[in-house]
Amino acid sequence: MNRKIFAGLIFLFFSVCFPVSLFSENQQYVISGMVTNKGDDFPVRDAEIRISGDKETSERTDIFGYYHIEGLDAGSYIEVTAVKDGVTITPDIIRIASLNSDRTINFTAVLPKSAPAEASRPGKSPGASGDSVLPKPARGVSPIQPEYVA
């Protein structure tokens, strides 16, 4: 019984003298998510995701609308925005006062009213007659579920 009390006191001493925040200073987190079109939930490629605040970096969405930003320090003040020319993306800005975990932040894009509806669909260009601008999948890869390109 005395060993349990002694161990409890040692634990209490270290937890008070050395808070967890001292051990997690080198902890790094990830912010990831996707950008989709509000009208049909199709992915928006080449949207720029900007991180500002304690760290400045940016990443573009891939052909599936995904982005992934690593190496963000614990406790950082972060502002996340998504931009693409000619497209309104919401929310305008996400503010994180003290980053303490991995985050998933999704954005919604609204195409301008003058853009044809088919412009939001991957593989379609405005005015195209069904011609795909996406590369054909590699041999042996299903066109229905293509392999993820990092």
Residue ranges per structural domain of the chain: 25-113
Instruction: Write out the chain's pLDDT in tens, 150 residues.
Output: 577 676 666 666 666 666 555 554 579 999 999 999 998 889 999 999 999 999 999 999 999 999 999 999 999 999 999 999 999 999 999 999 999 999 999 999 997 765 544 444 555 444 444 444 455 555 555 555 444 444
- pLDDT at residue 111, as a whole number: 78
Among 135, 108, 141, which residue's Cα sits nearest to residue 123? 135
Superfamily the domain 25-113 falls into: Immunoglobulins (2.60.40.10)
Query: Count of CB atoms within 10 A of residue 8's CB?
Result: 10
